[in-house]
Amino acid sequence: MTGRSALFVALGAVFFVFGLVSVFLLLVGAPTDLGWIGANFVIGLLLLVAGIATSAEAIRERLRSGEGRRIGKYGTSAIAQAAIAIAIVALLGFLANRYHWRYDASEAHVHSLSDQTRKLLAGLERDVEVTAFYQKLDQPAVRTLLDRYRYVSDRFKVEFADPNARPDLVERMKITPEKIGKGLLHVKLGDETVDLAEPDEEKLTNALVRLTRTAHKKAYFLTGHNERPIEGKGANEKDGFAQAAEALRDENYRFETLNLATKGDVPDDADVVIIAGPTQALRPEEHAALQRYLERGGALFAMVDPRAHTDLIDDLARWGVDVGDDAIVDRVQGLFGQAMSPLAGEYGNHEITKDMREVTLFPMARSVRPKQDAARRFVEIVKTSKDSWAERDLETLFGQGRAELGADDLKGPVPIAVAGNPLGEDAKPAAQKPDEAHKRAARLVVFGDSDFPSNQAIDAYRNRDLFVNSVNWLLGDVEAIAIRPNKSRASRMVLSEAQFSSIRYVSLFVLPELIAVVGVLAWWSRRRAPGR
């Protein structure tokens, strides 16, 4: 086969093969277009017919010769090999669709489900029904996220629905068209539902937390001593605690502020009291109220910064915790060379930190250790590096900006947080009412820094996990202690539907086929060159 007939056959084969590839992509669920498939088959078939028609006489002559028999033999072999290759590819496609194995090569494992999500899915006792209202073009990205959940739990059920094609479903679920917008996830568990407009793992997992944990927990943030604000003025500034409060809300906590000077006592519905960075003294009545709260089995989370002028340190000492009059310096593992912003990566054997593998950041911290007579009751849960130390010459450190490891300083690793029982191993909570005798013993967590869950630092490294896990442990909610979803640091480019469609067809179909056509033309022109 020579001349134009060879060109027609080669080009026809290119179009026909790309048509078959498009059909295969359609079968495995990849987005493609029936018009494109049909055009490839029609053009390919016409070119093949034209090639055969223009060389019909040459084909008949070859079939009469011995060369024809050899071509038939080798052609049959080639067809058999091609059929075997197609069968192998089809088998691999079937196995890939039936059995799933994933490997996440990203630095922060942002394409893998977090420990928190896996624990939550493993504990599902009822089916979660997710309806994804997205147009077909927008479904692949959402499907990738939902497939990660489906592969972990059979109780995670997913249905995709084009809102334009299923208005009956939209109406039955009482969703307005305005709410759907560009897309919506409708998550249902029993009679409770949550709608997500821009789903990612963090939002979807938080929705599952709200649906599965129906019992609300109550946290009180102490106020009146210049603590970090959770609402109102300053709450959303870099030193505020608005994001820390929001992190607790995502775990199904309710929270309020608590002014003991006006309340007189910790409310009975308090599951945990959080004291975030006080810089003023408490009144005697407030000290007594906190003591009574612990004696009846309360849970207290105290964060005290270096050089903070608070007499809460005296209470902590009475409960068995020694808060050092110092500031931690780390010239090796300080953030961006900032020696007073140490990164801590050594964790104690405790439920709060048992799954912690990455570092946490403390913008400025002081040492926190159990007192000698309370060492059995507390665990040092976080420590800075061995190259750090707790500097006790604060006048020189803050006045002149100089620090040297001295004989009086505490050499690293320096403990920065402790957790344990403030009233003794055998202490029983004092029941205030007959039905309160079952209450557990008091719990206390103390950090030498209140910056780490502030707005400016809570999303640094594993700070959010450390803060929320500490609160969960104080409540005895060990099942909720987990490592939460990572956040990708990559940028995102938003494309319109038309732009995405154009890029997809050009990259997946037009360019490869154009390259193949140009290759055939180059082969044909070289074959017709003089001397060939």
How confident is the model over 269-303, as pLDDT tens digits? 999 999 999 999 999 999 999 999 999 999 999 99
Asked whether residue 304 falls in the same domain as residue 400, the answer is yes
Residues 6+ apart with CB under 8 A from 140: 31
When pLDDT is averaged across residues 51-62 and rounded to a whole number, the result is: 68
pLDDT band at residue 114, thresholds of 50, 70 and 90? confident
Please count the other Cβ atoms lying within 10 Å of the Cβ belonging to residue 435: 8
Asked whether residue 416 falls in the same domain as residue 440, the answer is yes
Residue 1: is its pLDDT beyond 60?
no
User: Which two three-digit tokens encode residue 207?
Assistant: 């929705």
- The CATH number covering residue 180 comes to 3.40.30.10
Contact 41, 21 (CB under 8 A): no
Nearest to 179 by CA among 203, 158, 163: 163
Asked whether residue 93 falls in the same domain as residue 7, the answer is yes
Q: Which of 44-48, 306-310, 373-377, 404-408 has the lowest mean pLDDT?
A: 44-48
d(CA 178, CA 503): 28
Q: How high is the pLDDT of residue 110? A: 59
d(CA 258, CA 107): 42
Contact 349, 400 (CB under 8 A): no
Q: How high is the pLDDT of residue 379? A: 96
Q: Which of 240-244, 390-394, 437-441 has the lowest mean pLDDT?
A: 437-441
Q: Which of 77-91, 108-122, 400-414, 484-498 has the lowest mean pLDDT?
A: 484-498
When pLDDT is averaged across residues 354-367 and rounded to a whole number, the result is: 92
d(CA 452, CA 447): 9
Asked whether residue 364 falls in the same domain as residue 241, the answer is yes
The SS3 call for residue 383 is: strand
Token pair 């494309």 in the structure block, residue: 495
Residue 172: is its pLDDT beyond 80?
yes
Residue type, 365: A
Residue 495: is its pLDDT beyond 70?
no
pLDDT band at residue 60, thresholds of 50, 70 and 90? low
Residues 6+ apart with CB under 8 A from 38: none
Asked whether residue 226 falls in the same domain as residue 178, the answer is no
Domain that residue 420 falls in: 215-480
Residue 354's alpha-carbon distances to 357, 382, 420, 469, 528, in angstroms, are: 9, 11, 15, 10, 73
Q: How high is the pLDDT of residue 432? A: 45
3-state helix, strand, coil split of the chain in percent (to 5) is 45, 15, 40
Residue 106 lies in a domain: no
Q: Which of 321-330, 383-392, 477-486 has the lowest mean pLDDT?
A: 477-486
Percent of the chain with pLDDT over 70: 80
Within 143-288, strands assigned E span: 156-161, 184-189, 192-196, 217-222, 253-258, 272-276
Residue 423 lies in a domain: yes
Sign of the alpha-carbon torsion through 224, 227, 230, 233 = positive
Please count the other Cβ atoms lying within 10 Å of the Cβ belonging to residue 204: 22
Residue 67: is its pLDDT beyond 80?
no
Residues 6+ apart with CB under 8 A from 459: 243, 487
d(CA 529, CA 527): 6
Asked whether residue 152 falls in the same domain as residue 273, the answer is no
Residue type, 30: A
pLDDT band at residue 479, thresholds of 50, 70 and 90? low
Question: For the chain, how big is the Rg over CA atoms in Å?
Answer: 34
The SS3 call for residue 275 is: strand
When pLDDT is averaged across residues 83-108 and rounded to a whole number, the result is: 67
Average pLDDT over all residues of the chain: 83
Token pair 């006489």 in the structure block, residue: 57
Asked whether residue 367 falls in the same domain as residue 264, the answer is yes
Q: How high is the pLDDT of residue 262? A: 93
Q: How high is the pLDDT of residue 257? A: 96
Asked whether residue 331 falls in the same domain as residue 370, the answer is yes
Nearest to 362 by CA among 326, 398, 333, 402: 333
Beta bridge partners of residue 219, listed in sequence order: 255, 272
**How far is C-alpha 419 from the chain's CA centre?**
27
Sign of the alpha-carbon torsion through 230, 266, 417, 308 = positive
Please count the other Cβ atoms lying within 10 Å of the Cβ belonging to residue 319: 24
Q: How high is the pLDDT of residue 274? A: 97
Residue 339 lies in a domain: yes
Contact 423, 442 (CB under 8 A): yes
Of 116-125, 204-213, 410-419, the range with the highest mean pLDDT is 410-419
Sign of the alpha-carbon torsion through 340, 346, 350, 356 = positive
Contact 384, 412 (CB under 8 A): yes
Residue 208 lies in a domain: no
Q: Which of 133-142, 184-193, 484-493 has the lowest mean pLDDT?
A: 484-493
If one compares 437 and 44, the residue with the highest pLDDT of the two is 44
When pLDDT is averaged across residues 342-349 and rounded to a whole number, the result is: 93
Q: How high is the pLDDT of residue 494? A: 45
Residue 489 lies in a domain: no
Residue 361: is its pLDDT beyond 80?
yes
Q: How high is the pLDDT of residue 348? A: 94
- Tally of domains in the chain: 3
If one compares 302 and 120, the residue with the highest pLDDT of the two is 302
Residue type, 183: G
Asked whether residue 285 falls in the same domain as residue 433, the answer is yes
Contact 298, 345 (CB under 8 A): no
User: Which two three-digit tokens encode residue 424?
Assistant: 């003794």
Residue 237 per-residue DSSP state = S
Q: How high is the pLDDT of residue 481? A: 74
Residue 491 lies in a domain: no
Contact 155, 127 (CB under 8 A): yes
pLDDT band at residue 434, thresholds of 50, 70 and 90? very low
If one compares 303 and 154, the residue with the highest pLDDT of the two is 303
pLDDT band at residue 7, thresholds of 50, 70 and 90? confident
Residue 228: is its pLDDT beyond 70?
yes
Asked whether residue 194 falls in the same domain as residue 169, the answer is yes
- The CATH number covering residue 392 comes to 3.40.50.880
Percent of the chain with pLDDT over 90: 44
Asked whether residue 250 falls in the same domain as residue 312, the answer is yes
If one compares 353 and 72, the residue with the highest pLDDT of the two is 353
Contact 229, 256 (CB under 8 A): no
Residue type, 203: K
Residue 268's alpha-carbon distances to 294, 296, 298, in angstroms, are: 12, 10, 10
d(CA 102, CA 112): 9
Q: Which of 79-93, 228-242, 478-492 has the lowest mean pLDDT?
A: 478-492
User: Which two three-digit tokens encode residue 46?
Assistant: 């016409």
When pLDDT is averaged across residues 44-64 and rounded to a whole number, the result is: 71
Residue 509 per-residue DSSP state = I
d(CA 298, CA 440): 8
Q: How high is the pLDDT of residue 336? A: 61
Residue 474 lies in a domain: yes
Asked whether residue 267 falls in the same domain as residue 129, the answer is no
User: Which two three-digit tokens encode residue 430?
Assistant: 């004092």
How far does the chain reach from its first CA to its final CA, in angstroms?
A: 15
If one compares 132 and 7, the residue with the highest pLDDT of the two is 132
Residue 187: is its pLDDT beyond 60?
yes
pLDDT band at residue 105, thresholds of 50, 70 and 90? low
**How far is C-alpha 399 from the chain's CA centre?**
42
Residue 377 lies in a domain: yes
